[in-house]
Amino acid sequence: TQLLEQSPQFLSIQEGENLTVYCNSSSVFSSLQWYRQEPGEGPVLLVTVVTGGEVKKLKRLTFQFGDARKDSSLHITAAQPGDTGLYLCAGEQSGTYKYIFGTGTRLKVLA
Amino acid sequence: GAVVSQHPSWVICKSGTSVKIECRSLDFQATTMFWYRQFPKQSLMLMATSNEGSKATYEQGVEKDKFLINHASLTLSTLTVTSAHPEDSSFYICSASKPGEETQYFGPGTRLLVL
């Protein structure tokens, strides 16, 4: 069974601070996605990374896929209260279109 | 666009009854739909993969006779929780993907409370 561990589990920071969320596995994934989920809603896709070492930027968010495609990180610069939510990584089991979700990181940004 | 809806958005039922949850892709045809369960403050757990016109593929540990999945058309998949018990109370989320695409489009979820 492929497992995705996210760290930290919880993070509470002040507005304007930077943070990094990590997503780690011992398994190789074909691709990896990052989502943000608000309470009572479905997850919303932020980005998909496919190539080992790939870096993608989405405004203040920077996503990186590990060279070996076993891990990924999400860096948020100058966090804002609107960034508050549950961040989930999800790795695709090779060739299946099935994604295994990480354990989640709950972020709270205080104004 | 790629919009996925779920109905109902929340449901309360008595223990022992069955509950049906619908997942619809509103503006695209979805050959594959996925059903997830999410307990409070936890991540999403994949329950099953639903393919139009064929039997669903269940993940290890998910009882296929308890969680009946039907994917009768390219825009509709249903999950029926049979003989529901309080431990089945959870947030059920579906997703759908377009043919040949990896991206999953998630529904808004259905919150089930079994009394």
CB within 8 Å of B19: residues ≥ 6 apart: B11, B13, B80, B81, B84, B112
**Closest-CA residue of chain A to B97:** A97
Size of interface A-B (CB pairs under 8 A): 50
Considering only CA atoms, which of B48, B25, B31, B43 is closest in space to residue B107? B25
Does the distance separating the beta carbons of A100 and B97 come in below 8 Å? no
Cα distance from A41 to chain B (closest Cα, Å)? 5
Tokens of residue B53, six digits: 């016109």
Residue pLDDT, tens place only, B58-107: 999 999 999 999 988 899 999 999 999 999 999 999 999 888 887 889 99
pLDDT for the residue numbered B34: 94
Does the distance separating the beta carbons of A42 and B95 come in below 8 Å? yes
**Euclidean distance between CA atoms B95 and B6, whole angstroms:** 10
CB within 8 Å of A76: residues ≥ 6 apart: A18, A19, A20, A21, A60, A61, A62, A83, A107
Residue pLDDT, tens place only, A13-40: 999 999 999 999 999 998 999 999 998 8
Q: Is a pLDDT exceeding 90 seen at residue A3?
A: no
Q: Which of B45, B97, B108 sits opposite A97 (nearest CB)?
A: B97
If residue B48 lies in a helix (H) or strand (E), which one and from where to where? strand B44-51
Residue with tokens 């779920």: B6
Does the distance separating the beta carbons of B109 and A104 come in below 8 Å? no
pLDDT for the residue numbered A1: 55
pLDDT for the residue numbered A2: 60
Which chain A residues touch B93 with a CB distance below 8 Å? Answer: 42-43
Residue pLDDT, tens place only, A53-93: 999 999 999 999 999 999 999 999 999 999 999 999 999 88
Residue pLDDT, tens place only, B34-56: 999 998 888 899 999 998 888 89
pLDDT for the residue numbered A14: 97
pLDDT for the residue numbered A98: 83
pLDDT for the residue numbered A97: 75
Which chain A residues touch B60 with a CB distance below 8 Å? Answer: 1
- Residue predicted with more confidence, A10 or B1: A10
pLDDT for the residue numbered A70: 94
pLDDT for the residue numbered B53: 81
